Structure 1
Amino acid sequence: MTQPLEILPVLGLPEIEVDADLGALIAKAVELRHGDILLVTSKIVSKAEGRLVHAVDREAAIDAEAVRVVARRGRTRIVQNRQGLVMAAAGVDASNTAPGTVLLLPLDPDGSARAIRARIHELTGRQVAVIVTDTFGRPWRNGLTDVAIGAAGLDVLEDHRGRTDSHGNELVLTMTAVADELAAAGDLVKGKATGTPVAVVRGLAAAVTEQDGDGIRPLVRPIEEDMFRLGTSEAVREAVTLRRTVREFSEEPVHPEAVRRAVAAAVTAPAPHHTTPWRFVLLESPAARTELLDAMLAAWQRDLRELDGWDEAKVARRTARGDVLRKAPYLVVPCLVMDGCHPYPDPRRAAAEREMFTVAIGAAVQNLLVTLAGEGYGTAWVSSTMFCRDTVREVLHLPDTWDPMGAVAVGRPLAQPKDRPPRGAAEFITVR
């Protein structure tokens, strides 16, 4: 960009009431030019759209607007709101409103921007862009700034990928959040307490498009790409909630280091007698997975026929459950080792000793699954290796003292699991 820019406050706007014609009020307050970019504070959009509500309890209003809590510290909550934006308090604002009332964000900020743009074009014939802005804090940065929460008439992202920089290096990841840059620039002349809710950026006519465009959606990072979707203490709770059994995986390979990080979390689990009763066999090659699964299938089919007396149809139905392991791009076989267990002649104590170690491997596997969920992987812990341990040990060349405790299928979910209702703890608790 080489042309000069002007950032102009729009002065003289009246106090905005419900059903106010924002497009007409702005067009009357400032002489707009073709290619101007309007920056409109969401507060006046909310007022015009009747999003002022009586709320004795602001927290209840936040509850109603939030769809997911990302982080909480004291009374401060970072949440994802119904528009998909991650922000403090779901955008519920108690400033510059009458006592006992709060302002909610517009229901459809993109729609609001399109309506203002269309009205201005109708009244003036000018083709402008409109950005609806709101104030955000930012992770790892102090201070607030305005960002775009709705847009019409411009591309909110400028994609530089495939271009070269001044040294001839190809740009691989660079995408500029143009709408956010404009929102922050406009805030320099709007301010927070000056009663100037609209600004005009002039000098970027080339950025204004004939069509309304995709709105703000390209700026909102998809949840599956969000590396920072979890907050502080919420990270563990949310990762536990995210841990779901996934049976359909994409073809995307699993990063081996992600699994190793999960194993590092697994081995922090509690264990009896200061032991480390876990081993994890990582099947990273297709050949190793196929060899193991073929041998397990043959052993299962033989035992179900000869030992359990099942017919072929029943055998086929039962062994089909192992398909989830074949569809996964990565397998982990957790093994229990009893090194360090106390020998007890009494069979009851010996059984309890093994149960203690079995609980430990379960805790370790849970750590593994939760950590993988936090990395965006889906998992399915399948018990099948426990029914043919000798076969597994033989194929994988494992010591006789290693007891395979199922197998964990790992991969990127083919589709995001459906939300499930929260499960309260009350019915599982007994207090004495």
Structure 2
Amino acid sequence: MELTPVTDLPEIRPGDDLAELIVDRAGDDLESAEVLTVASTVVSKAEDRTADLAEYPVSGRAREIADRIEDVAGEQKDPRFAQAVLEESTELLIDAPFLLTETRFGHITVNAGIDRSNVPEHDLLLLPKRPGESAERIRRGLEDRGIEDVAVIVTDTSGRPFRHGQRGVAIGWTGMPASRDWRGERDRDGRELGVTVQSVVDELAAAANLVTGEGADGTPAVVVRDWEFGDLEGSDELFRSVEDDLVRQALREWEFQQ
């Protein structure tokens, strides 16, 4: 598998055509690509998902959250930021010492994925409202320019339970299943696999994140070549349902204690 960053992309502005900008700069790399990954940062900028703290009148719940985080973590929390997180979330799973939420499209992450880095002229950058639709718009834009059969993954960085550090994850995708199902296949000893379902969109997002980097690297798109999904069943299930998520059920009964 070969991963090539799309370099020299300009600062993305609201209304910019990401597909056009990427095609112009990726050149021949896209002609033989299987997958294109695009960081949610530039997708959000193109979709005008910036915001300012002054836009969020503070509710009593947001002030309570900010005060509690300051009390237990010793970190001053702007209640307007807490309000923004609440408005971008459908459920607050942890309210101290940090905010862990479910976004409106089903992704569970810290602070509803709201970013405060690399947002010129604004305070906040929100995640795309519907990242799957964002991926489809980019894919259609590629097709309009003669680039066909390229799957598109919108990525973000996210922490993980039980481990330090962050890695790339998929929050929207199109043109390929989210996972490939190994159940029913056999291992080298002939034993039938019973539970293995591989989240390929997350693995591709993590691989791309090694190339795009973080901070000021400024390479939000990666072309993936010489990769094949393989002859396996696929599924678009990625985010666990509440009924199937034992960790979320446990968190609903959990409360932070100092």
Provide the TM-score with structure 2 as the length reference.
0.82
Q: Is 1:30 matched up with 2:26? A: yes
Q: 1:165 to 1:139 in 2, by over 3 A?
A: same
Q: Is 1:14 matched up with 2:33? A: no
CA distance in 2, matches of 1:145, 1:22: 23
Q: Return 5+ residue gaps in structure 1 as ranges.
A: 238-432
Alignment map for 1:266-345 (pairs within 5 Å): none
In the alignment, which of 27, 34, 37 is matched to residue 39 of structure 1? Answer: 37
Q: What do the CA deviations read for 1:324-381 (whole angstroms, capped 9, x no partner)? A: xxxxxxxxxxxxxxxxxxxxxxxxxxxxxxxxxxxxxxxxxxxxxxxxxxxxxxxxxx
| Aligned-pair identity (%) | 39
SS state at 1:218 partner: coil
- Counterpart of 2:246, as a letter, is M
The structure with more radius of gyration = 1
Q: Is 1:218 matched up with 2:241? A: no
Q: 1:86 to 1:186 in 2, by over 3 A?
A: same
Shift in Å, 1:231:
6.0
SS state at 1:173 partner: coil
Shift in Å, 1:201:
1.2
CA distance in 1, matches of 2:214, 2:253: 33
CA distance in 1, matches of 2:192, 2:229: 23
For the Cα contact (< 8 Å) 2:153–2:170, is it kept in 1? yes
Q: What's 2:91 paired with?
A: 68
Q: What's 1:289 paired with?
A: none
Q: 1:11 to 1:174 in 2, by over 3 A?
A: same
Q: What's 1:255 paired with?
A: none
Q: Is 1:54 matched up with 2:52? A: yes
Q: What's 2:130 paired with?
A: 108
Q: What do the CA deviations read for 1:287-329 (whole angstroms, capped 9, x no partner)? A: xxxxxxxxxxxxxxxxxxxxxxxxxxxxxxxxxxxxxxxxxxx
- Counterpart of 1:218, as a letter, is E
SS state at 1:207 partner: coil
Of Structure 1 and Structure 2, which has the larger fraction of its residues in helix?
Answer: 1
Structure with greater contact order relative to length (CA < 8 Å, sep ≥ 6): 2
For the Cα contact (< 8 Å) 1:10–1:200, is it kept in 2? yes
For the Cα contact (< 8 Å) 2:85–2:114, is it kept in 1? yes
- Counterpart of 1:226, as a letter, is D
Q: What's 1:207 paired with?
A: 229
Name the Cα RMSD after superposition: 1.8
CA distance in 2, matches of 1:236, 1:142: 21
Q: Is 1:158 matched up with 2:177? A: no
For the Cα contact (< 8 Å) 1:37–1:201, is it kept in 2? yes
Shift in Å, 1:126:
2.9
For the Cα contact (< 8 Å) 2:90–2:104, is it kept in 1? yes
SS state at 1:105 partner: coil
- Counterpart of 1:64, as a letter, is E
CA distance in 1, matches of 2:38, 2:16: 14
SS state at 1:29 partner: helix
CA distance in 1, matches of 2:100, 2:5: 31
Q: What do the CA deviations read for 1:137-161 (whole angstroms, capped 9, x no partner)? A: 0111110001000001111101000
SS state at 1:219 partner: coil
SS state at 2:253 partner: helix
Alignment map for 1:93-104 (pairs within 5 Å): 93-98=115-120, 100-104=122-126
For the Cα contact (< 8 Å) 1:9–1:189, is it kept in 2? yes
CA distance in 1, matches of 2:242, 2:213: 32
- Counterpart of 1:94, as a letter, is R
- Counterpart of 1:135, as a letter, is T
